[in-house]
Amino acid sequence: MNRVKDKIVNIVIVLISVIATVVIIIKCLHEGIPNAFDAIDIIALASMALVFTELRQNKKINEAQLIKDINSEFINNLQLSRVEQKLEMYYDQYKHAKTTDEREKLHLDLCMDIGSDERQNLVNYLVHLEAVASLVNNEAIRLDSINDLIAYRFFIAVNNRDVQTYELLPFKDYYRGCYILYKRWKDVLKRKNMEIPMNEQGEKFFEKGYR
């Protein structure tokens, strides 16, 4: 939807610029030097359209750079990659569990003791997601732009029961952005008919909302 809107706006901007240019040429051909006030108005309009186009292009470039940096951090940071691996292993076990009882017995293979390196790495992973949430919630990045890259990483973390129990719930004031973004992102995945990792655990936890 956002991409369609962007295309429409860009088309309108181009049309305005073209029309303004054509009007100036016609006035020059038929009237010689056009009325100064009219010419200034038209030129100003064309200039505004060009400036607006440039600003939009810069915003897209900045957004693309932010997305690249976010993804690079997940890929190149060994600690974050290790946490993601553990979260994914848990999710794989969750998918293959045949009963609710088997799922209840699952535990994330990370040391949850405060002060341990593994716990700190998990915190760093969640803080990285919180930074992503802040960028999206403040409209620095469009959710659709990062959905394919980050959605899976987001939901295997926030929908993990141990992550909820040991970090998201007791320290919820520090993950306000993730709470706010959760429902919005879940709706995007539903609209795209994409699977939501461990959705049942997420709904049980997040249906209470941020309190």
pLDDT in tens, 32-60: 555 544 555 555 555 555 555 554 555 56
Evaluate whether residue 109 is within a structural domain. Answer: yes
Residue 211 lies in a domain: no
Please tell me whether residues 165 and 196 are part of one structural domain.
Answer: yes
In a domain, 12, yes or no: yes
* Alpha-carbon span 78 to 88, nearest angstrom: 15
In a domain, 71, yes or no: no
Q: 154 with 114, same domain?
A: yes
For residues 81 and 24, state if they share a domain: no
pLDDT over 70, % of the chain: 69
Sequence-distant (6+) residues with CB within 8 A of 138 are none
Q: Is residue 70 assigned to a domain?
A: no
What is the reported pLDDT for 3?
A: 53
Whether residue 109 sits in one domain with residue 58: no
Residue 201: inside a domain, yes or no? yes
What pLDDT was estimated at residue 8?
67
Mean pLDDT, range 47-75, rounded to an integer: 68
Q: What is the pLDDT of residue 42?
A: 54
Domain that holds residue 124: 77-206
**Are residue 183 and residue 91 in the same domain, yes or no?**
yes
8 Å CB contact between 67 and 145 = yes
The tokens of 199 are what? Answer: 């959705």
Place of tokens 């600690």: 79
Smallest CA-to-CA distance from 125 within 92, 85, 91, 172 is with 85
**Identity of the residue numbered 98:** K
119 and 189 in a single domain? The answer is yes
Report residue 123 CA to chain centroid gap. 20
Q: What is the pLDDT of residue 117?
A: 94
Number of domains in the chain: 2
Domain end among 62, 85, 107 = 62
Q: Are residues 97 and 199 in the same domain?
A: yes
Structure tokens at 203: 């709904």
Cα torsion 13, 19, 24, 26 to 10°: value is 170
**176 falls within a domain:** yes
Q: How far apart are CA 103 and CA 65, in angstroms?
A: 39
Residue finishing a domain among 62, 89, 104: 62
Note whether residue 68 is domain-resident.
no
pLDDT tens by residue, 150-194: 999 999 999 999 999 999 999 999 999 999 999 999 999 999 999
